[in-house]
Amino acid sequence: MLDWTDRHCRFFHRLLSRHALLYTEMVNAGAILHGGTERHLRFNAEEHPVALQLGGSDRDTLVRSARLGAQWGYNEINLNCGCPSERVQRGAFGACLMNEPHLVADCIKAMVDVVDVPVTVKHRIGIDQNEDYGFVRDFVGTVADAGCRVFIVHARNAWLKGLSPKENREIPPLRYGVAAQLKQDFPHLTIAVNGGLATDEAVLAQLEQVDGVMVGREAYHNPWWLSDWDAQYFGAAKSTLTRQAVEATMVDYMAREAAQYGTSWYSIARHMLGLRHGLRGARRWRQVWSDHRLKDWPAHKVMELAQNSDHALSGL
C-alpha cells in the first residue's frame, strides 16, 4: 500500500470505522532518521488505533525508528517482511527477510526491548516457488521466540524475481490453509490473514480459522464497506453514517490541512474517490473530485459541484 495509506487516507478510513486497526504505508526506517522525522511520522490524533509499518533490516536503525514511533504515539510497530518489490529488495528488506529469520528475530527482540507497544511482523507464506510449509513455520517460530506475538500472514508466496509487485498479488496462488495451520501450530500467537479478501462472507470464513483479517486494496477501492465493520466485527451499534456526511467531514479536514500545512485538497481527495462506488452518478462525482482544473478552488466549492455532478462538467 505504498503511497496509498498515508495520513489523509487513514483519516478518511477512520471516519468509516472507529475500531479497525489502521496501518501506515511501509516507511523506510532510515528515512525516518535521515529524511525528516516529522514528515514521515506525523499523523492525526483521530487515527487511533494506528500502527507504524517499518521497512528495514539494520537493527540499530529499526530500534531508533521504533522508539521514535512509540514516542510519537503509534499503538503498534510492525516490521514488513512481505513486500516483494525489487526496489525494496535492494534495500535488503521486505519479503527477502524471510530468508534470514535469525536477523529478523534479532531486530524484533531489539525493538521489543525499547518500546512498550506490540512489535509485530507482516510476512508471506514462502519465497519464490518454495511451497514447503516448514519454511514459514520455522520463520514464525524463530521470530516468535524473540518476542513477537502477532503475525499478519499474506497468504501468497513472494516471487523475488520475474514478477512485478502487482503480479505478486495475483499470480502466486492464495493458500489460506497455511495461515490456518500456523494458528494450529502456534495457538498462543495471534495470527491474522491477508490477501484477496473482498466480502464479509470471505472474512467471516477466515475468522473461523484465525484471529484476524487484514484488508488492503478492497478497503481502498470500496471504502464504504468499512462502514459496516464496527457492527459486524466489533459489536457496535449499526452505523447511521451517510456518504454525504463523510464527504462533508473530509471537506472540513481539507480546509484544516490547507490552513495548517498548505496541503491541497487535490492530494487528499484521491483517497475518497471510491466513496460512491457502485452508485448511480459515481463516475461523474469522481471526475469532479479528480479534476486538476479545480485545484485552486476551495474544497467546499468542489463538493457543491460534485454533489450536482450530473451537470457539473459541462461548463468546465
Q: How far is 237 from 72, CA to CA, in rounded Å?
A: 31
Q: How far is 285 from 265, CA to CA, in rounded Å?
A: 15
Catalytic residue among 9, 81, 83, 96: 83
Phi, psi of 95 (to 5 degrees): -60, -30
Q: How many CA atoms lie within 13 A of 310 on its CB side?
A: 2
Cis peptide before 298 (omega within 30 of 0): no
Is there a catalytic annotation at residue 83?
yes
| Vertex 222 angle, CA 221 and 225, to 5° | 150
Comparing C-alpha atoms, which of 136, 79, 69 is closest to residue 104? Answer: 79
Distances (CA, A) of 183 to 76, 172, 243: 21, 22, 38
What residues act catalytically?
A: 83
